[in-house]
Structure 1
Amino acid sequence: MAGTVEDLQRRLAVLRDNFVQELPQRLARVVALQPRVNGAWPTDIAADLRLLAHSIKGSAGTFGFTELSARAARLERLIAQSLAQADEPSADQKRAIREAADTLAAAGAVDKASAQVAAPRRPGRATKTLYLLDENPDRAAALIAQLRQYGYHPEAFVSAETLMIAVAELEPVVVLIDASGDGAPDRAIAAVTQLNADREPRIPTVLLAGRGDMSTRLAAVRAGIEIFLPWPAEVSELVNRLDQLATLDDQAPYRVLVLGADSIDANRTAALLEAVGMRTRVAPSAMRILETLTDFPPDMLVLDAALADCTGMELAALIRQFPAWSGLPILFLASAAEVERQLSSASADADDFMVKPVPPKRLRAAVAARAEKRRTFSILVAQDPLTGLMTHRVFDRRIEAEVARASRMERPLSLAILDIDRFRALNERHGYPVGDGILRSLALLLRRRLRRSDLIGRFGGDRIAVLLPETEAEMAEDLFDRIRLAFASMTHGGSDVAATATFSTGIAAARVGRPPAELTRAAELALFEAKKAGEGAIRLEED
């Protein structure tokens, strides 16, 4: 649900106008509650006044009303200090609270033109286009040919000047700099510094360096280079690192649930996150958080520490009681005093605290980092560590579900099992690291060439299985023929090895009433026939 910059500006302007329109009513409540805390000091009324001040402070700071936010923060701080002590506040404390409330209430005349809400600049970037800076044209051409097999659209430049001109016209998703030659790292680091000078957001950069000493790495860190990769290395390893930086269109957006002190503050947070491609949902209240979690399972929760029905920490502890949400990252937005209090208590229910008002850039970065960590952990428990594909056990469960669905709906479904040819000989000749790299390269190529709906799993050893919904066996044969040719043209192990490999394929089709185990056996028998036919062969099951 990513919006354009104009959409975000409009949404923030509406939220700001809503805040300004509601401000007189909020300040009227301050005026009404203030006398009631100057007598017998009812703690429930004092807590309500503190929550009201907290809400005004956050929204005012968010929308640029600095003075109003500061006055509300002072009132909140004074009440919080009084509530924290065992005895009733002294006459001097009550007088200070009364004066702070009067000062806040007097700030009702808000100049709507005094503050502007800036939306983040989102320059257009070419999805999957990367720029390669390399002083050696022949070396660049070889790397470009490999990267194209994985779906990237690389363009090569031999000088930093021509690279800067191209970037000014169209920004790539990543800049890759091959600095494996003598003296090249220093020139490359200087180019990155020039590239991202005064640029916001920065263009992600990857440095391929021939030397990996501490001084070179430290210089790269200081230049803001995100990934430092000793070179030469496996191209599949490079592609995996590029994927960490490239924001691809087919990546599912992070899902973020937001619960704020008030609806304006929560909707503003949601709008800022949606502007950079995240999907958000604003929870209506703390008391309805469980049903909202069920309706909208998030990658993380952004929670205000001060809520109407309970504290943020109480709500976090409640959520942690449910196994499904025990690992959900929670980011708290709180006042400086609240952050200090929670940090001193060493609570385990929050992953982090941020002091309100949080700058938009910091908020988005914090949310993205925690959401990615949650998503990565969820994926790792179901992934083969070498290839990143589904484990055999997970794949078997998915086969059962897909076969049942295809049988019920009478839709086509094909299973392909791939086996790398002469894999043992490749390991013996080039070493097991090269063999592992070949397997990783095939897994990565399959992820690039197949649909998101296709399921890919490692069957152990050098075998990979692919389940293709809505696909006849003949269509699968054509598909793997194209993938087979692409894989055969790739080299593995770096320039000093340059190994090549092929794979054979057996394909079987699901039928109504055919058990998953029988489908798997049919694909394995077809693979056996393909291996007998020779390297790179594809065979369909025999009728």
Structure 2
Amino acid sequence: MASEMTAINHQLAILKERFVERTRTQLRELSNCLPHWQQGSLTLAELMELQQLLHRIAGSAGTFGYTRLGLYAGRIEQQVNDFLSQQASTSISATSFIIDELIQQLLQLTHYLEDNATLEPPLPLAPLAQEYNSQLLIVGEPLKALATSLNHYGFEARYVSNLDNLDATPISLIIAPSELIADIAVWNKKRADLYQHKAAYIIAVGEEGDFNARYRLAKLGASGLFTLPINIASLVERIEQLSPKHQVAQPSKVLLIDDDETLAEHYRLVLSKTGIKVRVMTQPHHLLETLVEFRPDIVLMDVDMGNYSGVTLARMIRFEAEWLSLPIIYLSSEQDRDQQLSALAQGADEFITKPISDPQLIRTVHILCYRARQLSKLVSCDGLTGLLNHSYIKQALTHEHSRVKRLGHSTTVAILDLDHFKKINDKHGHSVGDQVIKALANLLQQRLRQTDPLGRYGGEEFVAILTECDLASAKIKLEEICQLFAGLIFNSEHGDFSVTVSVGLAEINHFMYAEQALNAADRALYQRKRLGRNGVSCFTPPDTVLQEQDKH
């Protein structure tokens, strides 16, 4: 980690040196043109080229520590813009006074470049969200059996009778009786300060209580209250919501479009050190293909990129219905608020003004990515389980199938179906049936990787896509899940009961289309049902399928 941080900081220093040398060269070339301009031969094309140079300096200088240079270049750029807006021909009709004033200002730029840069201190190599530990602490004799139940869901739950003599292992969540919460809250804060850990979330277990009792628990820092007997499925759902693992999920993905290669690479390095995946484009020729392949959470794009306009690119992206909700954020040195609003009105969502400090950029991008994912989740996820809904899990399978064809790795798709689910609903009621569905969803989220798309396919049926996982490995993992789920005990007024699940698997590499792989997994599922349920069956492609695959 330390060596990686050193390497990235070294790369950032090289980028700064590259910026200085490039800008120094550009200003030297500019100074060679000044005598020519003083003779009154400044053309419109030359002035537009000057505007582009000033725009790049204004947008990037502050990032590399040259704040005064950036501000001064921005002021000159604005004067040039105002002047350009009045010109309608290819020649410049300007007084010698205006030209002389412009030249004097341009000469001052070199002076500002030689100022000592003021840079932000190196950023730590860590994502904005802290590294997490999934250990749950169960406190108090009445809750002893709870640890075993939570371990079935894939949590690392540890029972202790009291808080004495615990080691420094980070704890993500504490579950304890209500009467112990006051003491636990004090202990939790002291321990977090001592070991420099994030304080654990606290869930209280006790009587439902009146307003004052619940308010007291909230004031002490509790994040939830459950009554006995505990509804395990609901508790697991709440733990998932509070879990740092659940909050971090997959790394945020940003598509960065900027014609300034040095500045774009600086942004990429800064964001990458905090766990964000960044794809840089300095020329947007393959923009649409990159959107499909990379599927970013947000697009960061400059407004003015010489031959290309960010506003026009944003409008072009919106041609496709798939990208209508993709957040597009302009990252530009444009200061005029009217111009910003005009740009936003044509397809973008936010406007970030350059220069922006590295910490501000990181925090802003994290917030925008989080907001984008929350909005996407409302559209793409099933309301009961939080997993992808029917259409989006099929879309995820199609995307993974394309990736498999391109990269050549193995991926397995699984269809899971709760056994005799109609009987459960008929006997115990639909609300209990919903608890069973949520329990399986939670178990899948705990036992499979964050990179494995999960979806509720419909009713009591689920789809899991085990990326870069062959059929044999997937079978072992799903058999383990079947065994764990069969061991869960559900409660209702009609008595305790357990539920089993049947699974069908198919390796998607053997099929020309994603839909064919899904149908094959479905056939394997029904084979499992015929064999007695509660287990896993695999689809083995006939030779004709493999021969057809070899032709392509």
Partner of 2:471: 471
Letter in 2 for 1:129: N
Matches of residues 110-149 of structure 1 in structure 2 within 5 Å?
A: 110-111=115-116, 115=119, 118-122=122-126, 129-130=133-134, 132=136, 136-138=139-141, 141-149=144-152
Partner of 1:53: 54
> Which whole-Å CA distance do the structure 2 matches of 1:43 and 1:194 have between them?
67
> Which whole-Å CA distance do the structure 2 matches of 1:487 and 1:106 have between them?
71
> Which whole-Å CA distance do the structure 2 matches of 1:143 and 1:86 have between them?
77
- Structure 1 position 237 matched with structure 2 position 237: yes
Q: How many residues align?
A: 513
Pairwise CA distance, 1:305: 2.3
| From 258, 261, 266, the counterpart of 1:263 | 261
> Which whole-Å CA distance do the structure 1 matches of 2:159 and 2:87 have between them?
70
Partner of 1:305: 303
CA separation of 1:277 and 1:204: change in aligned 2, threshold 3 A: farther
> Which whole-Å CA distance do the structure 2 matches of 1:424 and 1:207 have between them?
37
Matches of residues 2-401 of structure 1 in structure 2 within 5 Å?
A: 4-32=4-32, 36=37, 43-83=44-84, 97-111=102-116, 115=119, 118-122=122-126, 129-130=133-134, 132=136, 136-138=139-141, 141-154=144-157, 166=168, 175-178=172-175, 181=178, 184=181, 188=185, 195=192, 203=198, 206-208=201-203, 228-231=223-226, 234-242=234-242, 245-246=245-246, 252-286=250-284, 289-290=287-288, 293=291, 296-335=294-333, 337-343=335-341, 347-372=345-370, 374=372, 383-389=381-387, 391=389
Secondary structure in 2 matching 1:24: helix
Does the 8 A contact of 2:140 with 2:162 survive in 1?
no
CA separation of 1:433 and 1:58: change in aligned 2, threshold 3 A: same
> Which whole-Å CA distance do the structure 2 matches of 1:137 and 1:38 have between them?
89
Q: 1:53-94, CA deviations, whole angstroms, 9 ceiling, x for partnerless residues?
A: 232233321122233233223323333444456898888766
Secondary structure in 2 matching 1:119: coil
> Which whole-Å CA distance do the structure 2 matches of 1:299 and 1:460 have between them?
26
CA separation of 1:413 and 1:107: change in aligned 2, threshold 3 A: closer
Pairwise CA distance, 1:417: 4.4
Unaligned regions of 5+ residues in structure 2, if any? 541-552
Secondary structure in 2 matching 1:530: coil
Partner of 2:444: 446
Letter in 2 for 1:118: P
Does the 8 A contact of 1:3 with 1:274 survive in 2?
no
Letter in 1 for 2:133: T
Letter in 2 for 1:22: R
Q: 1:101-144, CA deviations, whole angstroms, 9 ceiling, x for partnerless residues?
A: 232232242446x546522352899966235567x434665554
Does the 8 A contact of 1:147 with 1:239 survive in 2?
no
> Which whole-Å CA distance do the structure 2 matches of 1:219 and 1:92 have between them?
73
Letter in 2 for 1:462: E
Secondary structure in 2 matching 1:151: coil
Secondary structure in 1 matching 2:306: coil
Pairwise CA distance, 1:11: 1.4
Pairwise CA distance, 1:270: 0.7
CA separation of 1:417 and 1:219: change in aligned 2, threshold 3 A: closer
CA separation of 1:37 and 1:91: change in aligned 2, threshold 3 A: closer
Partner of 1:534: none
CA separation of 1:262 and 1:384: change in aligned 2, threshold 3 A: same
Pairwise CA distance, 1:15: 0.5
- Structure 1 position 505 matched with structure 2 position 496: no
Does the 8 A contact of 1:300 with 1:370 survive in 2?
yes
CA separation of 1:380 and 1:191: change in aligned 2, threshold 3 A: same
Pairwise CA distance, 1:281: 2.5
Supply the RMSD in Å over aligned alpha carbons.
5.4
Secondary structure in 2 matching 1:48: helix
Does the 8 A contact of 1:420 with 1:463 survive in 2?
no
Letter in 1 for 2:443: L
Does the 8 A contact of 1:287 with 1:309 survive in 2?
no
TM-score, length basis structure 1: 0.72
Partner of 1:524: 526
Does the 8 A contact of 2:259 with 2:283 survive in 1?
no
Pairwise CA distance, 1:12: 0.6
- Structure 1 position 419 matched with structure 2 position 408: no
Does the 8 A contact of 2:268 with 2:278 survive in 1?
yes
Does the 8 A contact of 2:314 with 2:346 survive in 1?
no
Secondary structure in 1 matching 2:300: strand
> Which whole-Å CA distance do the structure 2 matches of 1:81 and 1:481 have between them?
70
Q: 1:292-350, CA deviations, whole angstroms, 9 ceiling, x for partnerless residues?
A: 54665533321122322133223322332344544332221123614552126651422
Pairwise CA distance, 1:379: 6.4
Pairwise CA distance, 1:456: 5.7
TM-score, length basis structure 2: 0.71
Letter in 1 for 2:278: T
Letter in 2 for 1:130: S
> Which whole-Å CA distance do the structure 2 matches of 1:23 and 1:509 have between them?
57
CA separation of 1:352 and 1:499: change in aligned 2, threshold 3 A: farther
Unaligned regions of 5+ residues in structure 1, if any? 532-536
CA separation of 1:208 and 1:420: change in aligned 2, threshold 3 A: farther
CA separation of 1:247 and 1:102: change in aligned 2, threshold 3 A: same
Letter in 1 for 2:345: S
Does the 8 A contact of 2:387 with 2:441 survive in 1?
yes
Pairwise CA distance, 1:540: 6.2
Pairwise CA distance, 1:291: 5.8
Does the 8 A contact of 2:127 with 2:274 survive in 1?
no
Pairwise CA distance, 1:479: 5.2
Does the 8 A contact of 1:146 with 1:235 survive in 2?
no
Pairwise CA distance, 1:266: 0.6
> Which whole-Å CA distance do the structure 1 matches of 2:286 and 2:317 have between them?
12
> Which whole-Å CA distance do the structure 1 matches of 2:388 and 2:277 have between them?
26
